[in-house]
């Protein structure tokens, strides 16, 4: 489990805790929350616990060595641990670009992947698909929209798909005028109406870049052409996404907003486990509504089709600039409206590689981060 202490990691551990006969977390890892990682390791007894921040290693080691739990630290150890023999499936639930290297290594040795870290596919979806062709690995999406689409596609012929309709809650600023959105504070942006998630994805939901990323993610996961993938705003977050077919039929997956369901479906490799989420009582909802997204107020959304059209390293650059901009916004160094401006300026000035390999993504990610930092003045 990459990112065991986060929102997805903890909800995954809920499922593992409920089904000890089926699942065991053999490796738990975290970025910097070492105390939480120690507590989770005490409870779940993995073989190995890994912390990304190297200076936290002594604390992790001292706490877990007496329990016979191996420990390691640093990004290289984190990426290497996915290759271990006792790993059947890798859950990628870290934030941002950090998901790429472990996912590439997991695919190289044929491990299945429960993919929460959508940034991996945003940054390098073409490379990941190329690697999958010569590997026995399968990717099971954890993102609720992509799980919904995978569920709708079960038993269907991909050639008969006419559109993927990815639902979006619209985030906390759905009804706000543009001038007010531009000056929104981190406090405003972190109040997501429907989902309790990590800070970075919550800000991405507020800018709607999260939905742009999900369009890119859907393209790489399902191989559907970009012009056939659309976002639809659905504030109640009950319909998790839809697939329209050639004959006009539309299939949707519905459920209460609860990530335990898509996580469980991914962990079980499309298995329907009992009592995962609360049953949906549609009569409790007066209305389910749908509206077109507004790319004038949410310009980040339009970056999806731009990046897919341009291809190459464009989305890698957008992702890197966004990571820097979101961190600066949370630090109150820039305004909410500046997030898009920084992405746009970074995209206009960063080098572009049309047919990138792994090393190109590494280089472009680093260059885009430097440029975005330069625009912010850090
Ligand atoms: P989070 O911030 O709650 O947790 C992130 C986890 O990753 C933590 O365990 C943290 O310690 C670890 N981490 C962060 N940076 C790291 C690094 N550089 N190296 C190693 N570990 C690192 O985030 P989250 O909301 O759980 O989201 C995780 C991923 O899942 C993101 O890619 C997000 O887009 C995706 N996702 C989340 C949700 C959700 O409901 N939370 C839904 C769909 C997709
Ligand atoms: Mg999602």
Q: Tens digit of pLDDT for each residue in 175-186?
A: 999 999 999 999
220-245 average pLDDT score: 98
Please state the atom number of ligand 1 nearest to the C-alpha of residue 6. Answer: 4
Q: What is the pLDDT of residue 95?
A: 97
For 146, other C-beta atoms within 10 Å of its C-beta total: 26
Q: 53 in ligand 1 pocket by Cβ < 6 Å?
A: no
Give 98-161 as a DSSP string: GGHHHHHHHHHTT-EEEE--THHHHHHHHHHHHHHHTS---EEE-SHHHHHHHHHHTTS-GGGE
Mean pLDDT of the chain: 97
Q: What is the C-alpha to C-alpha distance for residues 318 and 22, in angstroms, rounded to an integer?
A: 39
Q: Which helix (H) or strand (E) holds 89?
A: strand 89-92
Q: 252 in ligand 1 pocket by Cβ < 6 Å?
A: no
Please state the atom number of ligand 1 nearest to the C-alpha of residue 117. Answer: 32
Q: What is the C-alpha to C-alpha distance for residues 302 and 306, in angstroms, rounded to an integer?
A: 7
Q: What is the pLDDT of residue 171?
A: 95
Q: What is the pLDDT of residue 193?
A: 81
Confidence of residue 300 (pLDDT cuts 50, 70, 90): very high
Please state the atom number of ligand 1 nearest to the C-alpha of residue 33. Answer: 11
Q: Whose CA is nearest to atom 22 of ligand 1?
A: 31
For the stretch 96-118, pLDDT in tens is 999 999 999 999 999 999 999 99
Whether residue 299 is predicted with pLDDT greater than 90 in this model: the reply is yes
Query: How far, in Å, is the centroid of ligand 1 from the Cα of 179?
Result: 30
Lowest mean pLDDT among 104-108, 225-229, 259-263, 283-287: 283-287
Contact 27, 13 (CB under 8 A): no
Q: Please report, for residues 230, 290, 328, the alpha-carbon distance to residue 197 in angstroms, rounded to integers and kept in the order given.
A: 23, 23, 19
For the stretch 5-19, pLDDT in tens is 999 999 999 999 999
Residues 6+ apart with CB under 8 A from 246: 160, 161, 162
Q: 339 in ligand 1 pocket by Cβ < 6 Å?
A: no
Give 207-226 as a DSSP string: HTHHHHHHHHHHHHHH---G
- Closest ligand to C-alpha of residue 211 is 2
Q: What is the C-alpha to C-alpha distance for residues 35 and 32, in angstroms, rounded to an integer?
A: 9
- Secondary structure class of 340 (helix, strand, coil): helix
Q: 30 in ligand 1 pocket by Cβ < 6 Å?
A: yes
Question: Would you say the pTM of this structure is higher than 0.95?
Answer: yes
Q: 141 in ligand 1 pocket by Cβ < 6 Å?
A: no
Q: What is the pLDDT of residue 125?
A: 98
For 291, other C-beta atoms within 10 Å of its C-beta total: 12
114-141 average pLDDT score: 98
Phi/psi of residue 302, each to 5°? Answer: -70, -15
Q: 119 in ligand 1 pocket by Cβ < 6 Å?
A: yes
For the stretch 334-377, pLDDT in tens is 999 999 999 999 999 999 999 999 999 999 999 999 999 999 99
Q: What is the C-alpha to C-alpha distance for residues 122 and 207, in angstroms, rounded to an integer?
A: 16
Query: How far, in Å, is the centroid of ligand 1 from the Cα of 196?
Result: 12
Q: 5 in ligand 1 pocket by Cβ < 6 Å?
A: yes
Confidence of residue 194 (pLDDT cuts 50, 70, 90): confident
Backbone φ/ψ region at 223: left (φ over 0), alpha (ψ -120 to 50), beta: left
Confidence of residue 170 (pLDDT cuts 50, 70, 90): very high
Query: How far, in Å, is the centroid of ligand 2 from the Cα of 257?
Result: 11
- Looking only at the bridges linking them, the beta strands covering 112-115 and 89-92 are parallel
Whether residue 192 is predicted with pLDDT greater than 90 in this model: the reply is no
Question: Considering the chain, what percentage of its residues have pLDDT values greater than 90?
Answer: 98
């Amino acid at each position: 489990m990459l990112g065991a202490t986060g929102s997805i990691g903890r909800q995954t551990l809920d499922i593992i805790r409920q089904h000890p006969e089926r699942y065991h977390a053999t490796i738990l890892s975290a970025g910097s929350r070492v105390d939480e990682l120690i507590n989770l390791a005490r409870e779940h007894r993995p073989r190995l616990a890994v912390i990304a921040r190297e200076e936290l290693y002594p604390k992790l080691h001292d706490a877990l060595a007496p329990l016979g739990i191996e420990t390691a630290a640093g990004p290289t150890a984190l990426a290497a641990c996915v290759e271990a023999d006792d790993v059947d499936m890798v859950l990628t639930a870290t934030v941002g670009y950090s998901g790429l290297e472990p996912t590439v290594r997991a695919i190289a040795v044929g491990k299945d992947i429960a993919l929460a870290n959508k940034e991996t596919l945003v940054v390098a979806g073409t490379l990941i698909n190329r690697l999958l062709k010569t590997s026995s690995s399968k990717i099971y999406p954890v993102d609720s929209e992509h799980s919904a689409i995978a569920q709708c596609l079960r038993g269907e012929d991909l050639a008969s798909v006419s559109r993927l309709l990815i639902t979006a809650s619209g985030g906390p600023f759905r009804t706000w005028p543009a001038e007010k959105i531009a000056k929104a504070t981190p406090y405003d942006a972190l109040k997501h109406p429907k989902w309790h998630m990590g800070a970075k994805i919550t800000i991405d939901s507020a800018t709607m870049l999260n939905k742009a990323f999900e369009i890119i993610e859907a393209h790489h996961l399902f191989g559907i052409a970009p012009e056939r993938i659309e976002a639809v705003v659905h504030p109640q977050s009950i319909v998790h996404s839809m697939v329209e077919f050639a004959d006009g039929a539309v299939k949707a997956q519905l459920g209460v907003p609860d990530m335990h369901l898509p996580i469980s479906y991914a962990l079980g490799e499309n298995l329907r486990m009992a009592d995962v989420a609360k049953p949906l009582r549609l009569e409790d909802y007066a209305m389910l509504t749908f509206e077109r997204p507004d790319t004038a107020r949410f310009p980040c959304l339009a970056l999806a089709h731009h990046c897919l059209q341009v291809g190459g390293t464009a989305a890698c650059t957008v992702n890197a600039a966004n990571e820097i901009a979101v961190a600066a916004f949370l630090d109150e160094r820039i305004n909410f409206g500046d997030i898009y401006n920084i992405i746009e300026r970074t995209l206009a000035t960063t080098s572009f590689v049309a047919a990138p390999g792994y090393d190109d993504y590494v280089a472009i990610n680093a260059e885009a981060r430097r440029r975005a930092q330069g625009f912010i003045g850090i």
